[in-house]
Amino acid sequence: MAGGRWGPLLTALLAARVAVAEEAGPAQAALPEERSWVRPMTASNWTLVMEGEWMLKFYAPWCPSCQQTDSEWETFARNGETLQISVGKVDVIQEPGLSGRFFVTTLPAFFHAKDGIFRRYRGPGIYEDLQNYILEKKWQSVEPLTGWKSPASLTMSGMAGLFSISGKIWHLHNYFTVTLGIPAWCSYVFFIMATLIFGLLMGLVLVIISECFYVPLPRHLSERTDQTRRSEEAHKAEQLQDAEEEKDDSNEEENKDSLVDDEEEKEDLGDEDEAEEDEEEDSAATRVDEERNDAQDQGPLREVQEDGEPEPEEDTPVQPSPADTEVAEDTLRQRKSQHADKGP
């Protein structure tokens, strides 16, 4: 009885609920989703920032700081038409190449671009600060990224390639460890082996390319080159030997010159000694002659004094004795013999 009493009532309530849902369903589907004014940038469309004025934000879905600035960035992008600026965002997880091209090391990171000239915005991600940065043109006081630092440079293009490869390796590692459930150390071993095999293959390719472009010389030309090389080596050896001989000759000549100079100095000293000895001999011979003359002159005087009165002893000159004369002559002979011995 209870079941039969509440059955029609429950059926009526379910029917009414279904009717209300059917009426509300089309109305909710008719409401459009809120459109985002921020344009996602990828590796395929990033060159759009090379024209006009842009503001870019680099973020990651797991970054709390990036999530805190999402609403402010969306408001800034909504007023982009008024500010005459385009606003974009880059997911570094999905686009590692772009993060490498701009060399992003911290999140969130903001960049300003004006006709292909890039500058790093280091202010807060608040709408008022971003608006003043554009209206007051504060970006003009910021040093631009030029040269190899520019995202459009060849260096940063290579950096983008490296970051893209690293991103792909990271995704592959996650696929092995998360999706397939392979242990992490197995994934590391796989990448190590892949790196070794890839290096060997690249080396083999380089060897093949070098063999293709290298043209070996004919045998007779190679023999000629060997002979030429040997002759050049022999010529160099001869030149070295000649240089050593010339050096030895110059040393010998210097030694000879020094010996000659020493001999000349000795001869000069010997000549001076001989001149002094000659002077001494001449003076000795002069003294001997004077003594002899004095002795001859005193002989008659003695005879006269014997016949006449003797003179006072004070005025009588002292005559040299024959013994003194003989000693002087012997000394003169010895000096002459020594001079004769030194002469040869």
Taking only the tens place, the pLDDT of each residue in 47-75 is 999 999 999 999 999 999 999 999 999 99
Active site (annotated) includes residue 186: no
Distance (Å) of CA 32 to CA 25, 27, 35, 79, 98: 13, 10, 8, 20, 32
Say yes or no to pLDDT of 235 above 70.
yes
Answer yes or no: are the C-beta atoms of 163 and 97 closer than 8 Å: yes
Tokens 């006081």, residue?
Answer: 141
Q: What is the pTM of this model?
A: 0.51
- Set 55, 66, 92, 130: catalytic member: 66
Which of the four pLDDT bands, split at 50, 70 and 90, describes residue 108? Answer: very high
- Catalytic choice (43, 48, 50, 63): 63
The label of the residue with tokens 């990828």 reads: 42
219 phi, psi to nearest 5 deg: -65, -40
Q: Regarding predicted confidence, which is higher, 270 or 155? A: 155
How buried is 76 (Cβ within 10 angstroms: 0-12 exposed, 13-18 middle, 19+ buried)?
Answer: buried
What's the confidence (pLDDT) of residue 18?
Answer: 43
Residue 45: DSSP 8-state: T
pLDDT of residue 57: 95
Q: What is the average pLDDT across 265-276?
A: 68
Query: What's the pLDDT band for 130 if we cut at 50, 70, 90?
Result: very high
- Mean per-residue pLDDT, 290-297: 66
Is the per-residue pLDDT at 5 higher than 70?
no
Q: Give pLDDT, residue 168.
A: 87
Question: What does the pLDDT read at residue 260?
Answer: 72
User: Which H or E run contains 295?
Assistant: helix 219-307
The string of pLDDT tens digits covering residues 151-201 is 989 988 888 888 888 888 888 888 888 888 889 899 899 989 999 998 999
pLDDT at position 206 over 70: yes
